[in-house]
Amino acid sequence: MLEKYLILSAILFSIGTLGVLIRRNAIVMFMCIELMLNAVNLTFIALSKHLGNIDGQVFVFFVMTVAAAEAAVGLALMIAFFKNRESIDVEDINMMKW
């Protein structure tokens, strides 16, 4: 049973990673990052159940709290960017290049 959960979470994690690499909208990229974090949460819970150990579930609560804090800061940064540039497309994050 454990394998199925681990495979599912690996697939979700890969979808999230691909999304960050492919999509160009900052909010969609951020949603993909959230998908990655939730795939990790699923891994933690499945392993916690399998190992009969509560630590994994405690970890999940911390991850969710941190994700909420990150969302608050991230969306604020996107609003600040949007106010100046009227876009949240990452193609427009191009002021600095080598």
Interface ranges with other proteins (CB under 8 A): 6, 13, 16-17, 20, 26, 29-30, 33, 36-37, 39-40, 43-44, 47, 50-51, 53, 55-56, 58-59, 62-63, 66, 69-70, 73-74, 76-78, 80-81, 84-85, 90, 93, 95-96, 98
Q: Is 8 or 40 the residue whose CB approaches other proteins more closely? A: 40
Whether 91 contacts 39, CB under 8 Å = no
Amino acid at 12: L
- 90 vs 19, 25, 68, 70, 71, CA distance in Å? 13, 6, 22, 18, 17
